[in-house]
Every structure is written in C-alpha cells, then in structure tokens.
A and B are shown apart, each in its own frame.
Chain A
Amino acid sequence: MVFSSTIFLYYFLPLFLISYWLTPTKYKNGTALIWSLLFYMWGAPQFVFVLLASVAADFFLAKKINVSAQPQRKWYFLISILFNVGLLFYFKYANFFVDNANVLLEKIGMTAVHWTKLALPIGISFFTFQKISYVVDVYQNKHQPLKKISDFALYIMLFPQLIAGPIVRYGEIKEQLEDRSNNDDLDHKLNGLFRFTIGLSKKMLIANQMAELADSIFALPLETLTTGQSWLGALAYSFQIYFDFSGYSDMAIGLGLMMGFRFPENFNAPYISQSITEFWRRWHITLSNWMRDYLYIPLGGNRVGTFRLYSNLCIVFLISGFWHGAAWTFIAWGAFHGFFLVLDRLFLLQILKKIGKPLSVLFTFIITLVGWVIFRADTMPQAVDYIFRMFEATNINWGISVEKGIYPWFIEYRFKFILMAAALFSFFPIFGFMEKWMNTFLQTNKDTQIVIIKAIITLVLLAICMTEVISTGVNPFIYYRF
C-alpha cells in the first residue's frame, strides 16, 4: 500500500489512527501489529508468509543466541546471518547473477541457464537490515532479545517504516517497543500529523512534478540530447529523488510520532554538504549509520592501515550501491561515491576547505548530480553517454520540448516554478539560522500560536494533497523498489 494512495490516506490511515488511539496502552502493540499485517497483506500478499516465517526464525534464533554458550552461540548467529543474507540474495540478486552468468555463457558459446524471474518482496532490503541489527546486537550482548514474538514482529513489520525505512536499529527502538507512554500525548500526535503532511506534500507537490520533467529528459534520444537538457534532467532527478525519499521518511517519522514512536532522522539537508563525506552524514542517515556500525567497523574501521582503510571504504560503498538494486548502475554509483570518499581523505577535503562554503557546496552538489545520473540511468552505456553530454558543451539550449516550432530555450512555467521551489527548500538550510528556526518550529508546541499555525499549514497542505491524490494516478516512491 502506497502512502500517497487513496486507500491509505482516506481509509486505512484514519481508521488505524482512531482504533490505535482508542486502544488501551496494554494492547496498543497488538493493534499496531494487526494493522501492519493488513498493510503488508494488501500490498504484497504473496510475500507475507516469507516475511512472517523469517520473523519467526530470527526471533527464535536470537533467543537461542542469548541462552547458548560458545560455540553454539556463534553457530546460531551465523545461521541467522546466512539466512537473512541468503533470503536477500535469493529474492533480490538471483535474477541479476543468472542474467550476467547467461551473458557470459552465451559469449563462450554455451547454452544459457533457464530461469524464471523472481519478484522482489517489497521492503526486503529494509527489513533484512533491521533483522540483522537485532541479531547482531543480541549476539554482541548490547541488548537483551525481546520477550514476546509479537513485539519483535512489530519491530520488523511496523508499517510506517516497513517498506522504505528509515532503517531503525534495534537499540534505537527497543525501549519504545515495550513502553512509549511518555510519547503518548497531543504534542506527538499533532507534530506527527504535521510531519506526515510535510512528507506527503514533498512527494505530491514537488517530487511527482520533478519526475515528469526528469522522465521526459531521460527519455530523449541521447544523440539529440543537448548539454542544457542533460543538466536540467540531472537537476530534476536530483530534486525528485530527494523530495521523494525524504518525503517518504517524513511520512514514516510522522506516522511513528502519532503512534508514540520516535524514529531516527534520515535526512538533514544533504544538498548543502561541503563534501561527499559530509553528504553521507546527511543523506539516508540510517543506512550510513547501519553500514558504519555493522560493516565498516567490523571490517576494521579507521583503525587500520591506509590501504586497508581505503579498501574498506570502497567495499562499504560498493555494497551500499548494490543494496539499492541489482544492476551495474547501482554498483557504479556506489563505487563513484566510494572513490570521492577516498579522494576526500587523500586531499579533496583540504581543497574544499580552502575554497570556502559556497564553492564547496556547489562542487559537492555537481558531484552528486553526476552520481544521480548513474543511479537513474537504465544501463551503464546510457549513463556514460549522458554524462558526456553534460560536459560536452556543444549545444547548451535547455528547452525540453521535442515538438517542432518551439523556441529551443522554452521550459514550461510549472517546471520552472517547481524547480525554483525545490532549490529553495533544498538549499535554504545553508543559512544556519534558518535550519535552527525550522527545527524549533517542527518540535515545539508550547506556544498556542505555533500550534494554530502548524494546524493551518497541515490543513491547507492536506487539502491540496487530497485534490492531487484524487486527480492523479498512483506514483509509488522510488525507494519502494529497493
């Protein structure tokens, strides 16, 4: 079920909120779990048993890990990791490996392997990482396992974050799963609804519009693509993915708040980063943190020699790219970012520091744009050709119309308007005071005036989004396919 669909917004959500708020504290987890199950069963019924079976397996394996001594403890741990990684590989990467193997086999004159394509269980990348974090934390004795399987199932299947994050690590939510009565008040509910609406607006009013622009440019034949068009397409996609994914995260965090959960933040104005290193502290923060804690540090982290350190960075980013999708473009995108992270450590950070904030933000943003082209492209040759167009500078007209008779510089007003709005919202936190003011506004409800202003903003945006949802088709979030 997509958050921006009619069924979710006008049936599932209000009915869920009313039933959840009316449920006595003791039974709130049960209510949330039932609705989460309904949510998944509506969207991906064929995978619900895979999800339930894997939840049950991890719950019991973690219990075994907790009560067993070495070496059994280690064996249970390895079984659980292999089970989770194996499921992810089977469902997400088997098609990719078989396809590539077949290309190789055909090249050497052998018969291709017959393979029926597998469908991807929605949200598998996210819930697999959450389950791994649970098992690892229990194995490392950081946290005790949950007593009730229903609480564990709720941790994994909680519908706001089940499909596309944020990736909530077990330690971050353990206590809230057992007791969140401190967060059960009007402030959390109002702030949650406000945050949810902001996310919905990001998706419906900016991301979807930018998607239209980006799609029309990426669909142009590469031979006729001008330099201006290629930059415009990259820019549109960079805003699309940011407002789409951060919009989803806002909605998830907002839904969590309405239920009394405090999920970790996933974005912090990533386009004002002054280096790629900083970008990864601001973009998909929960994935970066997960990668750091469960991959980079176990690989040795910073406490290794220079060569190992750079190799580790590259490995982490290659895996991070591959996590996004089973395609060479995602691997290349990960490698591209890993490369700049290594450059940062070698000399780039020094240079960026010297050139000052505006130029370093611009430089980092351009690197990010190029990265998004690789991410967005259907194939590697398309990505390479597209990037060549960006730097060719032979024809800088940016008009996107392929109709004859139209001025080559013409862009529709609506695209200009949304592009400017997207740029404004993406870059205004560059002024520190704005960021501070926004955070205060988002979290405070002490002043009645602020409450009323927020309620009015929520009301207006919800009403506008309502008309948009009803008038347009369903546009799933980009990260739904990861």
Chain B
Amino acid sequence: MKLKFEKNQVIKGVCLTLLVLLLMIPMLKEHSPILNRELNASALKGYFEPIERPAFSLKNWWSGAFQNSREEILKRDLGIRSFAFRVNNQLHHAILKEIRTNYIEGKDGYLFGKDYIEDYMGFRYVGDNNMRYQTIQIKYISDKLKELFDVELIVAIAPSKAYVLKEKLPQKYDLNQKVDGNYEIYLAELERLDIKVLDFNKYLTAQVKETGEKEHILMPKLGIHWSEYAATLAADSITNYIGQLKEKDVVRVNQDEIVKTTKSRNQDEDISESMNLLYPLASQKYSYLENFARDTIGKYKPNIVLIGDSFGWTLWSKEIPHKLWGEESLFLYYYYNLWIPNEHDVQKTNKEMLVTYAKKADAIVLLYTPMTMESWGSGFIERFYTMLKKEEGFDE
C-alpha cells in the first residue's frame, strides 16, 4: 500500500516537473545551444514588420511602452518561434481548415489568391472609360513605336488561376454572380483596335480543359502563378511571335529534355510556402524543361523590353531573357524595378536608359495577368503616350 502511494507520488512529481519544464522551454531555448538545435524549423516565409528593441527608461516603463514592445520582441526572438508558428498553422489548417494568409483553399485542395477570385467574378472592375482610354493610348504607342523605331508592342496576358481552374474555385463562391471583368472588357477593346495580343489566359484555359493537365502541370495546385513549364512555353511563343513579326529565325525552346519531379522549383508552390506549415502539402509531379536553349548558333536573339507583374519572375528565374533573348533585353517589374540580364543588382526605372533600350528593342511586351490589369502598365502606358504625343518622339 505504502509502495503504491510512493509510486503515485513519484509519478506526480515527474509529471509536474515535465509540465513546468515545458513552460520553461522558450526561456531555456534562449540560453541553451542544445535545445536550439532540436527545435529548429525552417525560417518563416513572408514579410514581418520589423520591431525595434525597446530601450528601458522610467518614462517608457511608466507609460507601458516598454512592456508592450518587450512582449513583441519576446515573441519575435523566442527560440521556438518558427517551430511554434508552423505547428500552429498546421493545426489551424488540419483541424479548422484555415489558411492564415490572403489565400483560400478551393476544391480538391487547390489554393487560390482571394484577389484573383474577386477579379474573376468581375468585382474589381476599373470602369469602361478608363479601359477604353488606355487601349486607345496603347494603340497610339504601338503605331508610333512601329512607325518611328520599328519596335513592336505586344500585349501578353498571363493566365489567372481563377479563370483557368474555375471548376476548382471554393464552394462558397456563387459563380452565377460572375459578371464581365477587366479581362473580358480589355480583351474586346484590344481586339477591336487590332492590337497585337498573346492571350495565355485563354490558351491555358483551353489546354487545361482539353488535357486535364494529365501530362504537364500548367497551373500548379499550390501556386498562384503559372508553372515554370507553362511559362517557358509561353516565353517560346512570345519569342517565336516576335521572330515572325521581324521575319527572323529566332532561338526556340527545346522541349525534348523534360525532368518530372515532385520537388518544386521557382514559384510553383509559392502559396503553400507562404502558409508556413510544418509539413508541406503534397506536391504534384511537375515538368521542368532542361537544357532548353541549346540551338543558338546562327539564330537571332530578339531584344525584348518586358514590362509586367510577378508572372515575369517565372521567366526571369528560368533565365529566359538571359538565354533566349538579346543582350539589350530587360525586365521592368511593375515598371518600377529594372532588371538587366548581365547585371546583378536591381535598379530603379531610369527614363534615359529605358528610352535607349526601348529604341533598340525588337519588341516591348506588356505581361500582366487579369487580376493586375487594374493597374495595367503600372504607369508605362501613360508615360510613353505623353512622351510620344508631346514631341512626336522620345526627344523631349
């Protein structure tokens, strides 16, 4: 009897010690290199507001400012932060089916950006007048660039997952409420004005419908952008189209070396990565084109000024401008940050430099997805229109 009592006491003591130790983990972890290793989780993805370390002063303490910032600092510096964050996100996703970002889970585990769905439904409509005016300006820029410098202006529409995979949209959306949005109206105007358009949104929607992505993933389940594979083929289409317009034999993408893997590259799983889960969601089998720019000898590499949204990053990361396009190519991310293939650092948009590049280019490509068409051109259209209109050329 006494032995049983003592055993019970020992168990209670052990339990209590373990539980208090659990409460002490964050504190111990801060001061112990052993625990530091065991609980490490990969760093969190995404942007976190920087917090300034609070300086102790009587005034700060009296007002409570020191205590508040101390709490935030503790949370940030807590040794187990990324681990705890990931476990918490995992629990919320597994039990409450919640994604703690601006993303949303659709049918069969397909992830979507909420803003892409709103755009698909037609709720981000920028207005008829605005769109008509912009397309007229594009037409003017296109004609003038051709006339003055023999530069082509091409509108490329990157695919929106909400359009391409609309049958996978979350159940909560009533698709009967969909109305025409920016994409439909812009497209009609572009066609009416006979502006050169490469509509990858339409093309990929048809492809996915036809093939069901059985062979190659075009719009990844866990990403917001097109797959690297789809983007590479789109880049080939852009290059080829420019080649036809310029009547040049351009470098084409070799499609005979394809690696199939569940290990994602580039932006193929960008949404799931931003979810900061402990155990990543199951990947699809992606196709990656290897050694795709082999036959370059004797071929022409067009100089392309690419102005676009984040869909341009897939091309940049795959080194399309570096391998398929000429040395005078550049990528203008939202017409703000300027990337040149041979230079490593980003530069701010420089008007003189841009004008020089634009004059020498074979084509200027505006690559925007329907969702970002609300800020189409990000200022390029208005600026070039004004410059061309004012001086009937670039020389202000």
From A1, A448, A462, A470, give the contact of B23 (CB < 8 A). Answer: A462
* B95 CB, min distance to chain A CBs, angstroms: 7
- Cα A5 to Cα B67 in complex, Å, equals 11
Are the C-beta atoms of B12 and A405 separated by less than 8 Å? no
Are the C-beta atoms of A403 and B74 separated by less than 8 Å? no
- Cα A463 to Cα B13 in complex, Å, equals 19
What chain A residues lie within 8 Å of B13 (beta carbons)?
A: 186
Are the C-beta atoms of B173 and A406 separated by less than 8 Å? yes
Known A43-B67, A405-B123; judge A187-B12 contact (CB<8 A): yes
CB of B118 within 8 Å of the partner chain: yes
CB of A17 within 8 Å of the partner chain: yes
Contacting residues of chain B (61-79) with chain A, CB-CB under 8 angstroms: 61-64, 67, 70-71, 74-75, 78
CB of A189 within 8 Å of the partner chain: yes
From A44, A407, A452, A467, give the contact of B172 (CB < 8 A). Answer: A407
Are the C-beta atoms of B91 and A186 separated by less than 8 Å? no
Contacting residues of chain A (154-199) with chain B, CB-CB under 8 angstroms: 186-187, 189-190, 193
Contacting residues of chain A (18-47) with chain B, CB-CB under 8 angstroms: 18, 42-46
Binds A, one of B3-11, B257-265, B323-331, B388-396: B3-11
Are the C-beta atoms of B70 and A7 separated by less than 8 Å? yes
CB of B382 within 8 Å of the partner chain: no
From A14, A414, A454, give the contact of B92 (CB < 8 A). Answer: A414
Are the C-beta atoms of A404 and B177 separated by less than 8 Å? yes
Known A18-B20, A410-B172, A459-B22; judge A471-B89 contact (CB<8 A): yes
* A144 CB, min distance to chain B CBs, angstroms: 36
From A404, A445, A471, give the contact of B123 (CB < 8 A). Answer: A404
Are the C-beta atoms of B19 and A451 separated by less than 8 Å? no
What chain B residues lie within 8 Å of A404 (beta carbons)?
A: 118, 121, 123, 177
* A467 CB, min distance to chain B CBs, angstroms: 4
Are the C-beta atoms of B84 and A413 separated by less than 8 Å? no
Are the C-beta atoms of B174 and A451 separated by less than 8 Å? no
In this complex, the interface size class of chain A, counting residues with CB under 8 Å from chain B, is 35 or more
Give A residues with C-beta under 8 Å from B: 1, 5-7, 9-11, 13-14, 17-18, 42-46, 186-187, 189-190, 193, 401, 403-407, 410, 412-414, 417-418, 445-446, 448, 451-452, 454-455, 458-459, 462-464, 466-468, 470-471, 474
Give B residues with C-beta under 8 Å from A: 7-9, 11-13, 15-16, 18-20, 22-27, 61-64, 67, 70-71, 74-75, 78, 80-81, 84-85, 87-89, 91-92, 95-98, 117-118, 121, 123, 171-174, 177-178
- Cα A44 to Cα B118 in complex, Å, equals 45
What chain B residues lie within 8 Å of A10 (beta carbons)?
A: 23-27, 74, 78
What chain B residues lie within 8 Å of A46 (beta carbons)?
A: 62-63
Are the C-beta atoms of B19 and A462 separated by less than 8 Å? yes
Are the C-beta atoms of A45 and B91 separated by less than 8 Å? no
Are the C-beta atoms of B19 and A468 separated by less than 8 Å? no
- Cα A298 to Cα B275 in complex, Å, equals 60
Are the C-beta atoms of B75 and A6 separated by less than 8 Å? yes
Are the C-beta atoms of B91 and A470 separated by less than 8 Å? no
Known A10-B24, A467-B85; judge A458-B19 contact (CB<8 A): yes
What chain B residues lie within 8 Å of A412 (beta carbons)?
A: 98
Are the C-beta atoms of A470 and B80 separated by less than 8 Å? yes
**Known contacts A7-B74, A406-B173, A459-B18; can you find 9 more A-B pairs with CB under 8 A?**
A10-B25, A11-B74, A45-B64, A190-B12, A403-B118, A407-B172, A413-B96, A448-B7, A466-B22
Known A448-B11, A470-B85; judge A464-B22 contact (CB<8 A): no
* B172 CB, min distance to chain A CBs, angstroms: 4
* B376 CB, min distance to chain A CBs, angstroms: 22
- Cα A306 to Cα B71 in complex, Å, equals 55
* A22 CB, min distance to chain B CBs, angstroms: 12
- Cα A87 to Cα B24 in complex, Å, equals 39
What chain B residues lie within 8 Å of A186 (beta carbons)?
A: 9, 12-13, 16
Are the C-beta atoms of B87 and A455 separated by less than 8 Å? no
* A128 CB, min distance to chain B CBs, angstroms: 22
Known A412-B98, A445-B12, A448-B11; judge A9-B23 contact (CB<8 A): yes
- Cα A459 to Cα B19 in complex, Å, equals 6
What chain A residues lie within 8 Å of B25 (beta carbons)?
A: 10, 466
Most buried by A among B8, B15, B75, B178: B15
Are the C-beta atoms of A13 and B23 separated by less than 8 Å? yes
What chain B residues lie within 8 Å of A6 (beta carbons)?
A: 26, 71, 74-75, 78
